[in-house]
Amino acid sequence: MSEQPSVGAILNMLGLLGMSLVLAIAFFYQLAHGELPCPLCLLQRAGFTAIGMGFLFNMRLGERPSHYAMILIASLVTGFISMRQVSLHLAPGDRGYGSALLGLHFYTWALVAAVGIVCYVALIFVLKDVTGDRDSAVPMRGPTSSAVFAIFALLVAANLLSTVLECGAGQCDDNPVRYLLLR
């Protein structure tokens, strides 16, 4: 008889899928629309990767307060980076950087997502408390969690590779138009 995954484990897996979706959408726009990420955009992707790592650690190593702290700190840092980029494009007539998705630029969506993730973690705590699943340190195993891990790992590796191709070993261009290492 197999044991059912806890509410926290399922929500952490959904959180990791959400971070994978964020990275996939950004990567899709980069490849399909030729929109290379600016340095602040790359920092936001790194923030979403760190958030995903917190969800991943909860899945693979069992839920721990330190993993949730990682998610929350990474969300705050990502939110501050996003706020910085939003503030750079508040001037009248500024069209923003990159294209928009549903009327908002990606850095605005990153701010919304960062705040949403903090709320999501709060929801996880409430649901764990309501269901009596307060001390779940059992790692999540099985083909579903392995597939979610593989998707996330592949997206992180692809984003790292594209960042190296875009920036090389130095500082990235403020408004990149081509991959530095593919000239």
Express each pLDDT in 82-133 by its tens digit: 999 888 888 787 777 778 778 888 889 999 999 999 999 999 989 888 887 7
Confirm whether 47 is domain-assigned.
yes
Residue with token string 């549903």:
102
Rounded Cα distance between 104 and 90, Å, is 13
Q: Which tens digits make up the pLDDT trace of 50-62?
A: 999 999 999 989 8
Residue 139 structure tokens: 């790692």
Neighbours of 123 (CB within 10 A): 11
Over 80: is that where the pLDDT of 147 sits? Answer: yes
166 dihedral zone (left: phi>0; alpha: psi -120 to 50; beta): alpha
Judge whether 111 lies within some domain: yes
DSSP 103: T
33, pLDDT greater than 50? yes
Q: What is the pLDDT of residue 142?
A: 84
Phi-psi region of 106 (alpha: psi -120 to 50; beta: other; left: phi over 0): alpha
2 in any annotated domain: no
Q: What is the H or E stretch that residue 151 is in?
A: helix 143-167
Q: Which helix (H) or strand (E) holds 119?
A: helix 106-130
In a domain, 20, yes or no: yes
Residue 1 confidence (pLDDT): 40
Structural domain of 87 = 7-182
> What per-residue confidence (pLDDT) applies to 22?
95
Rg (CA), the chain: 18
Q: Could you tell me if residue 90 is inside a domain? A: yes
How far is it, in rounded angstroms, from Cα 67 to Cα 127?
Answer: 17
Residue indicated by tokens 């509410």: 7
pLDDT of residue 175: 80
Residue scoring higher pLDDT (52 or 166): 52
Q: What is the predicted pLDDT for the residue at 136?
A: 64
Q: Which two tokens stand for residue 130?
A: 């309501």
Based on the structure, what is the number of domains in the chain? 1
Domain annotation covers residue 134: yes
Question: What confidence tier does 145 reach under pLDDT thresholds 50, 70, 90?
Answer: confident
Q: Residue 161: which pLDDT band, with cuts at 50, 70 and 90?
A: very high
pLDDT, residue 157, reads 95
93 lies in some domain? yes
Q: Is 10 or 77 the better-scoring residue by pLDDT?
A: 77
> Would residue 1 count as lying in a domain?
no
